[in-house]
Amino acid sequence: MLGLNSRDFKLLMIVIFMTLAAPILLNPFPVDSALGESFNAGYPALMQRFVIFGLLAVGFNILFGLTGYLSFGHAAFLGVGSYAAVWMFKLLSYNIVPAMLASVIVAALFAVVIGYVCLRRSGIYFSILTLAFAQMSYALAYSVLSPITNGETGLQVYSDDPQVLMRAGDPIVPHLFGLEMNSSVTWNVGGWQFVFQNGYYLSAICMIIGFYISIRIFRSPFGLMLRAIKSNQTRMSYTGMNTKPYMLAAFVISGMYAGVAGGLMSAMDPLTGAERMFWTASGEIVVMAILGGVGTLIGPVLGAGIIKYLENIISKINSDILHNWFAFMPDWMDNLLVNILYPFVGKGWHLTLGVLFMVVVIFLPGGLVQGGQKLGALFSRKSKSSNSDATTAGTANTNTPAE
């Protein structure tokens, strides 16, 4: 269906279900319970980040996963996309359609220029070049181009901006033809509370579309060509292929994904700052892809989700909350447990991420997706012998774990 084989279709359906039901799935605990206060992640701002960074990682994966070219400056596209969108809000109106179009176009142009230069080299030199471009963009946005980017303070919409397409009565928040992005419906069931927000669903739909396109690219002759470049670019050249256009196309597509993600970020929250382009932001995208599983379809989305969850949920657990959890224990045990756990939560969430990353890289080179496959294999050992050939072929086809 939709031009997908049944396996991919199932995966797409799972992604659609997970994203659409996220407001419920991510709020498994009652609001007022201790677990709910600490671990519920189903609030709009975070769910938006899950899908937006998911989309970003999916796009990154088209470049890194398929061609093996590690771009260390992907955040630059995210940043220019965001700036383009906010400028559209400032100049035209709060309607997100021109904003999103502008962010994709600007990011694509940016990607063409940077890609053209950087793709003259491969391997580590390519990575360093992209990193250099991203850091240049960051430095420009942070201070030199302050009239355009508003520097460190960040670009935002002021009430005296032109907004030429704005009519009286239009919402003064980003909207899709009047549908306000920050409007939501809250649903209370017993102690549970679920929030369904327009902005989240718009981002989710973009992510699903992006994911679908990514599957199609993975399965297309174009995707095959990119994989061929990854396995042996020299041989491709010797056979008379000019690989450069393919590389550039992959780079630009990937940059456009980042542009959409940047535009969405601005549409959800119309302020953007230069640090969105900082090299740590680019690094984060790489970590997302590797954590989830480079070259797999769903992996980068998983990685993005985990990092954003750690950053927003685990980082807010402070020592008071820990003491509350263990309050029922004797004092010495309480203190001992808090002392053991404390370095890993709150501001120590980076440590948790680091440990997780190390574990994944050492034991699961294919990322969390490989972990899932191993688990799956464990439970379906019986049926495996009968149709092992088919499964292996299928697995290789769908996921092509790290090669």
Partner 1 sequence: MTKTTYSRRRVLKTGAVAGTAGLMMPTYLRAAAHEGFTNAPTGDTVTLGFNVPQTGPYAEEGLDELRAQELAVEHLNGMGDGGMMNTFSSKVLDGTGIMGKKVEFVTGDTQTKSDVARASAQSMIQKDGCIMITGGSSSGVAVAVQGLCQEAGVIFMAGLTHSNDTTGKDRKANGFRHFFNGYMSGAALAPVLVNAYGADRRAYHLTADYNWGWTQQESMAASTGALGWETVENVLTPVGAGDFSSYIAPILNSGADTLVLNHYGGDMVNSLTQAVQFGLKDRQVNGKDFKIIVPLYSELMAKGAGSNIEGVFGSMNWNWQLEDEGTKAFVRSFGEKYGFPPSNAAHTCYTQIMLYADAVTRAGSFNPCAVVEALEDYEFDGMGNGPVLYRGADHQCFKDVLVMEGVASPSGNANMVGYDTLRIVEQTPRAQVEYAPDHPMFAGGALGECNPGA
Q: Note the residues at the interface with partner 1 (CB under 8 A).
A: 24, 37, 40, 43-46, 49, 139, 142-143, 146, 150-154, 156, 158-160, 173, 179-180, 182-190, 195-198, 201, 269, 271, 273, 275-276, 278, 311-312, 315-316, 318, 346-347, 350
**Residue 283: CB minimum distance to partner 1, A:** 14
CA distance 350 to 314: 10
Closer residue to partner 1 (CB): 229 or 258: 258
Count of other CB atoms within 10 angstroms of residue 238: 9
The 3-state secondary structure of 315-360, one letter per residue: HHCCHHHHHHHCCCCCHHHHHHHHHHHHHHCHHHHHHHHHHHHHHH
Closer residue to partner 1 (CB): 183 or 397: 183
Residue 36: burial class (beta carbons within 10 Å; 0-12, 13-18, 19+) = middle
Closer residue to partner 1 (CB): 164 or 189: 189
**Residue 133: CB minimum distance to partner 1, A:** 17
**Residue 235: CB minimum distance to partner 1, A:** 43
Inter-residue contact 42 to 63 (CB < 8 Å): no
Count of other CB atoms within 10 angstroms of residue 246: 18
Distances (CA, A) of 22 to 43, 113, 197, 328, 382: 10, 37, 11, 33, 33
Closer residue to partner 1 (CB): 103 or 198: 198
Q: What are the residues whose beta carbons fall under 8 Å from the beta carbon of 155, sequence distance 6 or more?
A: 83, 86, 87, 90, 148, 149, 271, 272, 273
Closest CA to 246 of 256, 238, 236: 236
CA distance 116 to 50: 31
The pair of structure tokens assigned to 133 is 């471009």
Tell how far CA 188 is from the center of its chain.
Answer: 29
Closer residue to partner 1 (CB): 194 or 218: 194
Closer residue to partner 1 (CB): 8 or 269: 269
3-class DSSP state for residue 168? coil
**Residue 187: CB minimum distance to partner 1, A:** 5
How many Cα neighbours within 13 Å face the side chain of 357? Answer: 17
**Residue 266: CB minimum distance to partner 1, A:** 11
**Residue 275: CB minimum distance to partner 1, A:** 5
CA distance 331 to 323: 10
**Residue 245: CB minimum distance to partner 1, A:** 35
**Residue 276: CB minimum distance to partner 1, A:** 6
Angle 270-274-280 (CA atoms, 0-180°, nearest 5)? 115
Closer residue to partner 1 (CB): 176 or 241: 176
**Residue 177: CB minimum distance to partner 1, A:** 12
Closer residue to partner 1 (CB): 219 or 316: 316
Closer residue to partner 1 (CB): 154 or 371: 154
